[in-house]
């Protein structure tokens, strides 16, 4: 039976710290680069690196792929969810101006889209389509996917069959890693979560 391994790696801390960044294209901070370098070990057996096109993912992914002599491709469907009017604002700013709406977002993001933002349904549909294409194109390979907290949450919800409105119950820290093993392919594929958060020592 074919076995496909996908390591999900969230980007490190971007310039500007923690905020509703979404499609805002901030690069990694120096701390973010250090977090990412600490999260991976050379020679882990990856055959390809795939990443979001946003700088906080793509720059590290391309640098790592070049060092390891691996192909690297960007996939637009793995961009973070768009936060609309909340883009670039800190959680504290939103908490002060609209605490009730922020609380509703954390509790049920499917029914509480930030003003002008991408709906969770739209976001989950594009990430899932990208994920399914990745699995179909790379059966039997070991892939590193460098993406975002929201993207990795959607994938983990699909793997574990968690309702998508509960995605914020899955914590994904900066430079956090998860590994998914997929047994078989196509309609009969069985995804398994091997570890979440950091690789075992």
pLDDT < 70: residue spans in the chain:
43, 198-201
Q: How far apart are CA 100 and CA 78, in angstroms?
A: 29
Predicted confidence at residue 165, as pLDDT, reads: 93
Q: Give the domain ranges of the chain.
A: 3-197
Q: How far apart are CA 45 and CA 111, in angstroms?
A: 41
Q: How far apart are CA 69 and CA 121, in angstroms?
A: 37
Nearest Cα to Cα of residue 110 among 100, 93, 122, 92 = 122
- Give kind and range of the element (H or E) at residue 126: helix 120-137
Residue for token digits 């690297």?
72
* Fold topology of 3-197: Rossmann fold (3.40.50)
Q: How far apart are CA 52 and CA 145, in angstroms?
A: 8
Record the pTM: 0.95
């Amino acid at each position: 039976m074919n076995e496909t391994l996908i390591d999900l790696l969230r980007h490190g801390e971007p310039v500007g710290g923690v905020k509703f960044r979404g499609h805002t294209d901030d690069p990694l901070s120096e701390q973010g680069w250090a977090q990412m370098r600490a999260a991976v070990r050379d020679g882990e057996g990856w055959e390809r690196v795939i990443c979001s096109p946003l700088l906080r993912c793509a720059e590290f992914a391309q640098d790592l792929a070049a060092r390891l002599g691996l192909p690297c491709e960007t996939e637009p469907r793995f961009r973070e969810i768009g936060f609309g009017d909340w883009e670039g604002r800190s959680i504290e700013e939103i908490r002060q101006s609209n605490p009730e709406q922020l609380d509703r977002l954390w509790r049920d993001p499917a029914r509480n889209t930030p003003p002008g933002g991408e709906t969770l349904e739209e976001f989950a549909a594009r990430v899932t389509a990208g994920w399914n294409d990745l699995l179909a194109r790379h059966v039997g390979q070991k892939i590193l996917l460098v993406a975002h907290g929201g993207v990795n949450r959607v994938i983990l919800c699909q793997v574990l069959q968690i309702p998508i409105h509960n995605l914020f119950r899955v914590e994904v820290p900066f430079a956090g890693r998860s590994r998914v093993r997929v047994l078989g392919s196509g309609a009969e594929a069985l995804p398994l979560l091997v570890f979440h958060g950091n690789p075992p020592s």
